[in-house]
Copies of this chain bind each other. A is one copy, B any other.
Amino acid sequence: MHIGIIGLGLIGGSLGLDLRSQGHYVWGLSRNQLTCDRAISLGVADFACLELGEIKDLDRTEVIFICTPIDAILSTIEAIAPHLNSSIILTDVGSVKSAIVYKAQKLHSRFIGGHPMAGTAFNGISAAQKNLFQDRPCVLTANSDTDPKAFNILRSLWQSVGAVVYECDPETHDRAVAWISHLPILVSAGLILACGREKDRAIAQLSQHLASSGFQDTSRVGGGNPQLGSLIAEYNQMALLDSLRQYQVVLADLIAQVESGNWESLEQSLILAQQLRNLYLP
């Protein structure tokens, strides 16, 4: 199969490595010549360039993965759609779906939203690795406008690189990731910012000295990439807001239990949390 990858970072690069291992021909597109050169030398792509026009036999391409940051996905589709055969399957790897899928389908009807849940602590093409998607979930979104044949082809491709594919509509995806991926970012950032409000210098310094693995784990995603966190909130605003408001209600409950000294009820809440958490562990 001839496959294109636009955006050669961690996800695009890793996908290129795996797809080429499967025997596919992969071309890559990047805004950066150095990234194109690295893509070739690392084995991410058979051919890589800066402009769609440089790709020979573009009509032989069957699937194009858009692996840019989420705020560049729609503008990328807008730019390339006029040059594409209508039979080409277009897909993305963005962590939000509703804000992208419906607009993308209007620009190119054979668009299917995708979101592989895979990552490392590193970014960029140098972080690309084989088998990044092995046993990792990958959501593909389907709605009434989705072509079932295109969906099956894309599902097979993700399965061929080891991903466990889930199918749902864009809204279900966005609400699910709001809970387990986007809400944690703000909950965790809030923890750090609250600690930063301590006005007593001795207490603040001691808390910094005493912070250990519990604080570090709970604050990790809140201390992550600020631009990404903000983009995610922007593109998944409504689902995130709903999760945040429900979190506020739960927090108020916990505070009321501490305030009233209802330790039995607090312990019951913590027992429930411990039990519920098991549902989210692999």
Q: Which of A's residues lie within 8 Å of B, judged by CB?
A: 117, 136-137, 139, 164, 166, 168, 172-173, 175-177, 179-181, 183-198, 200, 202-203, 206-212, 214-224, 226-227, 229-231, 233-234, 237, 240-241, 243-252, 254-255, 258-259, 261, 263, 266-267, 269-274, 276-282
Contacts and interface: CB of A to CB of B under 8 A. Distances in A.
B215 A198 contact: no
Given A179-B207, A195-B180, A210-B180, A237 B254 contact: no
A203 B192 CA distance: 29
B191 A190 contact: no
Max chain B CB contacts within 10 Å: which of A168, A197, A208, A210?
A: A210
Given A193-B276, A207-B280, A274-B226, A184 B218 contact: yes
Nearest to A218: B184
A175 B190 contact: no
A210 B120 CA distance: 16
A196 B234 contact: no
Nearest to A205: B176
Given A184-B214, A222-B277, 4 more contacts: A179-B207, A180-B195, A187-B190, A214-B220
Given A180-B211, A226-B267, A226-B274, A258 B280 contact: no
A170 to B, nearest CB: 12
15 contacts: A136-B212, A179-B203, A181-B214, A193-B269, A193-B276, A194-B246, A197-B246, A208-B280, A211-B280, A211-B282, A216-B280, A229-B267, A233-B263, A237-B258, A245-B255
Main secondary structure of the interface of A (DSSP, over half): helix
Contact of A248 (B177, B226, B255): B255
Contacts of A270: 185, 189, 222, 226, 229-230
Contacts of A139: 206, 210
Nearest to A196: B276
A178 to B, nearest CB: 8
Give 8 closest A-B pairs by Cβ, nearest first: A226-B270, A223-B277, A230-B267, A211-B280, A176-B206, A189-B273, A176-B207, A194-B247
Max chain B CB contacts within 10 Å: which of A168, A183, A187?
A: A187
A166 B210 CA distance: 9
A251 B190 contact: yes
Contacts of A254: 186, 189-190, 193, 244
A177 B197 CA distance: 14
A251 B250 contact: no
